[in-house]
Amino acid sequence: MKDTILAKRLKELRKAHNYTQEYVASYLDIARQSYSHYETGRNIPSTEALYKLATFYSIRAEDLLQLTMEEKINNYYDTPIISTTVNELSLFLDYINDSYNEKKFKNLDSKEKELLYYFGKLNPKDQEDILDFIRIEAKKK
């Protein structure tokens, strides 16, 4: 059960909010080790814990509960985990599966695919700002 979508998403959410496992566990009123098992995929949170986590991270419970089911389509297409609505995921999958885009994505990893998808949704000014930022950061390395 290791590396489930839910486990990865819980870890991603926690890190995005700069929370420790101890902090999240205390909110759930469980031991840190129990919460750690959620992030490693050893255990799946109860429905009550999932609803608490959804409230804690200010996301819809349905979005978090949906991650408890293994989605074969994500494994097949190697798509990144997207933390938005099902409609957004549907739009992303349409973009990835478009025959025109398939050729472009042949040798890209999931982060590169996600980057291209969201970059294409931006206006030209924002795209240029992001490119400037990337150029500056790359020169620092």
CATH number for the domain that contains residue 25: 1.10.260.40
> How is 6-49 classified by DSSP, letter by letter?
HHHHHHHHHHHTT--HHHHHHHHTS-HHHHHHHHHTSS---HHH
Model confidence, pTM = 0.47
| 84 shares its domain with 112 | yes
What digits encode the pLDDT tens for the residues 92-103? 667 667 777 666
| 117 shares its domain with 132 | yes
Compare 20 and 91 and report the one with higher pLDDT: 20
Domain boundary among 66, 98, 116: 66
| 48 shares its domain with 108 | no
E strand or H helix at 135: helix 124-140
Q: Report in angstroms the alpha-carbon separations of 125 from 62, 120, 122, 135.
A: 35, 12, 8, 15
Residue 119 — very low, low, confident or very high, per pLDDT cuts 50/70/90? confident
| 76 shares its domain with 135 | yes
CB 19 within 8 A of CB 27: no
| 79 shares its domain with 41 | no
CA distance 75 to 57: 25
| 60 shares its domain with 77 | no
Domain boundary among 66, 93, 112: 66
| 55 shares its domain with 76 | no
* Confidence (pLDDT) at 21: 95
What is the domain extent for residue 122?
72-140
